[in-house]
Amino acid sequence: MIDETVEEISEMQTHSSSVVAVKAAQALRDLTDREYPTVEDYLRSLSRNSSALRRANPSHASLHTTQHRIVNTVSDAEPDNVAAAKELTNEAIDDVIDSVESSKDRAAARAVSEIADDDVLLTHDFSSTVLAAIDDAIEAGHSFEVYVTESRPRFLGRKMTRHLSDRDGVDVTLIVDSAAGHFMPEVDRVLVGMDCIVDDTLYNRIGTYPIATAAADNDVPVTVVGAAAKYVDGAFAFENEIRSPSEVLREPADGFKIANPAYDATPTHLLDTVVTDDGVHEY
């Protein structure tokens, strides 16, 4: 299961950072079904496999922090035997999953206050937290028109569009990324998720920065929603992921290069609010 999860994360079959963190945590349960002669062997295996999961996407802050939390919890407890180490691992995994899911739910619930009834929204990429916020708002009686960018090159916005199209009270339109500026005058609020915020920079799926810039030029507020744990300090150095050129162009590049970064950097001064599980941060 661990090898499959590493491949799934690496291939971006799972998009949302909170979902990635949960799947990676669950994958470590596979180790508790294996046999180890000593505690030391088990802890080495736990650390090695956790490192493999983190390397699958070096830019996911949630993935890194949750994996470190699981490994450190087990190692710092200095278990007396393998059985105790496995029990600690399962408990740490449960705690991480509960923390990620509850943080996402609280952040989504807080975001409802930022979304006015009948707002025209624009969102980018696929964010399970943004989706949960819209679901909570619909349950509260709101309705929306939503523009969703395709989010090239992986077209992650198409998945978001399909989810939203199943919701009553949502009129959803899929647009190409470059049309965001064209439709921005019709938009009341840009609502996006986040990979992480480091110092004064939001790192999120490539294309977020030009959308935020277009929003600022049109006086459209930008709201970011995500777990407070995605505010990270110097303990995590964001490393952008340069993905395969084949995602952009299937045939070989002949006489030219293809650049395919996964994320871009948006200065927080372009944001209006960041909604997390612990509050609303204004910029």
- Examine the domain organization and report whether 8 and 90 are in the same domain: yes
- Examine the domain organization and report whether 93 and 137 are in the same domain: no
123 compared with 229, residue with greater pLDDT: 123
Torsion on CA atoms 174, 63, 196, 187, rounded to nearest 10: 20
- Examine the domain organization and report whether 139 and 234 are in the same domain: yes
Confidence of residue 233 (pLDDT cuts 50, 70, 90): low
Task: Give me the mean pLDDT over the 215-228 stretch.
Answer: 96
pLDDT digits (tens, 9 = 90+) for 105-116: 999 999 999 987
Domain boundary among 67, 89, 106: 106
> Is residue 195 among the annotated active site residues?
yes
Burial 221-236, CB ≥16 within 10 A → b, else e: ebbbbbbbbbbbeeeb
Compute the distance between CA of residue 157 and CA of residue 177 in angstroms, rounded to an integer. 9
pLDDT at 224 over 80: yes
Domain boundary among 106, 125, 140: 106
Query: pLDDT over 70 for what percent of the chain?
Result: 97
- Examine the domain organization and report whether 228 and 89 are in the same domain: no
Compute the distance between CA of residue 26 and CA of residue 141 in angstroms, rounded to an integer. 35
Confidence of residue 103 (pLDDT cuts 50, 70, 90): very high
CATH of the domain at 90: 1.20.120.420
Confidence of residue 6 (pLDDT cuts 50, 70, 90): confident
- Examine the domain organization and report whether 123 and 66 are in the same domain: no
- Examine the domain organization and report whether 202 and 125 are in the same domain: yes
- Examine the domain organization and report whether 194 and 250 are in the same domain: yes
Confidence of residue 234 (pLDDT cuts 50, 70, 90): low
Q: What's this model's pTM, rounded to 2 decimal places?
A: 0.87
Least confident range from 22-26, 127-131, 145-149, 233-237: namely: 233-237
How distant, in Å, are the alpha carbons of 53, 88, 120 from that of 59? 12, 27, 31
- Examine the domain organization and report whether 22 and 151 are in the same domain: no
So what's the pLDDT on residue 235?
61
pLDDT at 130 over 90: yes
pLDDT digits (tens, 9 = 90+) for 38-60: 999 999 999 999 999 999 988 78
How distant, in Å, are the alpha carbons of 44, 52, 62 from that of 115? 47, 39, 25
So what's the pLDDT on residue 140?
93
pLDDT digits (tens, 9 = 90+) for 79-89: 999 999 999 99
- Examine the domain organization and report whether 252 and 114 are in the same domain: yes
Helix (H) or strand (E) holding 209: helix 208-217
CATH of the domain at 212: 3.40.50.10470
Which of the residues 76, 135, 188, 195 is marked catalytic? Answer: 195
Domain of 63, in residue numbers:
1-106
Domain boundary among 76, 106, 136: 106
- Examine the domain organization and report whether 142 and 96 are in the same domain: no
Per the structure, the count of domains in the chain is 2
Confidence of residue 232 (pLDDT cuts 50, 70, 90): confident
For tokens 């990270």, the residue is 232
The token pair at 264 is 């871009």
- Examine the domain organization and report whether 81 and 213 are in the same domain: no
Compute the distance between CA of residue 181 and CA of residue 244 in angstroms, rounded to an integer. 27
So what's the pLDDT on residue 188?
97
Confidence of residue 15 (pLDDT cuts 50, 70, 90): low
pLDDT at 13 over 70: no
- Examine the domain organization and report whether 114 and 90 are in the same domain: no
Contact 96, 69 (CB under 8 A): yes
